A and B are shown apart, each in its own frame.
Chain A
Amino acid sequence: MKSADETRRVADGIRRRVTAFTLKNGGGYLSQACSSAEILATLYTRVMNLGPSVAPPVPPPFGGVPGKNPDYTTGAGYNGPHRPELDRFFISPVHYALVLYATLVETGRMAEEGLAMFNQDGGTVEMIGAEHSPGHELMAGSLGQALSQVVGIALGRRRKGETGRNFVFMSDGEFMIGQTWEAMETLSFYELDSVIAYVDANGQSADGKIDEVMGIEPLKERLEAFGAVAVEVDGHDVEALAAAAETPHEGRPLVVIARTNPYCGVEVLSERAPKFHYIRFTGPEEKEALERFYAEKWGGQK
Chain B
Amino acid sequence: MKLETQVHQKNLVRWAANKPEVVVFSADLTSSTEVRLFAETYPDRFYSFGMTEQNMMSAAGGMAREGFTPWVHTFAVFLYRRALDQVQMSIAYPNLPVRIVGFLPGITTPGGATHQAIEDVAIMRAVPNMTVLETGDAADVESVLDVAQAVEGPVYIRMLRGQIPRLFTTPMQLGRARRLRRGSDVTLFTAGITTEEAMRATQVLERRGVSIEHLHVTTHKPFTDPAVLEAASRPKYGVITFENHTTVGGLGTEVAEVMAEHGVGKKLVRLGIPDTYAHGGSRPYLMRHYGLDALALVRAVERLVGEDLKIGEDDLAAVRVEPVHGDFKAEAL
Contact = CB atoms under 8 A, between A and B. Distances in A.
Given A139-B93, A148-B57, 11 more contacts: A145-B90, A148-B59, A149-B65, A151-B59, A152-B59, A152-B60, A153-B62, A155-B62, A155-B63, A159-B23, A179-B58
Contacts of B67: 156, 160
Contacts of A153: 62-63, 65-66
A277 interface: no
A186 B60 CA distance: 13
A139 B94 contact: yes
B65 A145 contact: no
Interface string A115-149: 00000000000000001000000110110011011
A65 interface: yes
A6 interface: no
Contacts of A68: 152
A103 B23 CA distance: 37
Contacts of A139: 89-90, 93-94
Contacts of B65: 149, 152-153, 156
A146 B86 CA distance: 10
User: Which 4 A-B residue pairs are closest in the complex by CB-CB distance?
Assistant: A152-B62, A156-B66, A148-B58, A182-B55
25 contacts: A65-B93, A66-B94, A67-B95, A139-B89, A141-B89, A142-B85, A142-B89, A145-B58, A145-B89, A148-B58, A149-B90, A151-B55, A151-B58, A153-B62, A153-B63, A153-B66, A155-B59, A155-B62, A156-B67, A159-B68, A179-B55, A182-B54, A182-B55, A183-B58, A186-B55
Given A66-B93, A139-B89, A149-B90, A159 B55 contact: no
Interface string B48-78: 0110101111111111111110100000000
B153 interface: yes
A179 B86 contact: yes
A178 interface: yes
Which of B59, B68, B86, B94 has the most CB atoms of chain A within a 10 A radius of its CB? Answer: B59
Nearest to A180: B55
B52 A131 contact: no
Nearest to B152: A68
Interface of A: 65-68, 131, 138-139, 141-142, 145-146, 148-157, 159-160, 178-179, 182-183, 185-186, 189
A142 B57 CA distance: 14
Contacts of A179: 52, 54-55, 58, 86
A183 B55 contact: yes
Contacts of B290: none
Nearest to B59: A152
B93 A152 contact: no
Contact of B62 (A142, A156, A182): A156
Contacts of B68: 156, 159
B129 interface: yes
User: Range of interface residues on chain B?
Assistant: 20 to 34
A131 B54 contact: no
A156 B50 CA distance: 18
A106 B179 CA distance: 63
Contact of A157 (B56, B57, B66): B66
A276 B182 CA distance: 68
B95 A66 contact: yes
B47 interface: yes
A179 B51 CA distance: 11
B64 A148 contact: no
Contacts of A146: 58
A132 to B, nearest CB: 10
A32 B46 CA distance: 40
Nearest to B55: A182
Contacts of B54: 145, 148, 178-179, 182
Contacts of A157: 66
Contacts of B49: 186
Given A66-B93, A148-B58, A182 B52 contact: yes
Contacts of B152: 68
Which of B23, B58, B153 has the most CB atoms of chain A within a 10 A radius of its CB? Answer: B58
A157 B47 CA distance: 14
B82 to A, nearest CB: 11
A195 B196 CA distance: 50
Contacts of A145: 54, 58, 85-86, 89-90
A131 B94 contact: yes
A64 to B, nearest CB: 11
Nearest to A151: B59
B129 A149 contact: no
Nearest to B21: A159
Contact of A186 (B59, B64, B93): B59
A186 B23 CA distance: 17
A149 B58 contact: yes
A67 B129 contact: yes
A139 B93 CA distance: 8
Interface string B76-110: 00000000011001100111000000000000000
A186 B51 CA distance: 11
A179 B67 CA distance: 24
B61 A149 contact: yes
B66 A160 contact: yes
B55 A150 contact: no
Contacts of B61: 149, 152
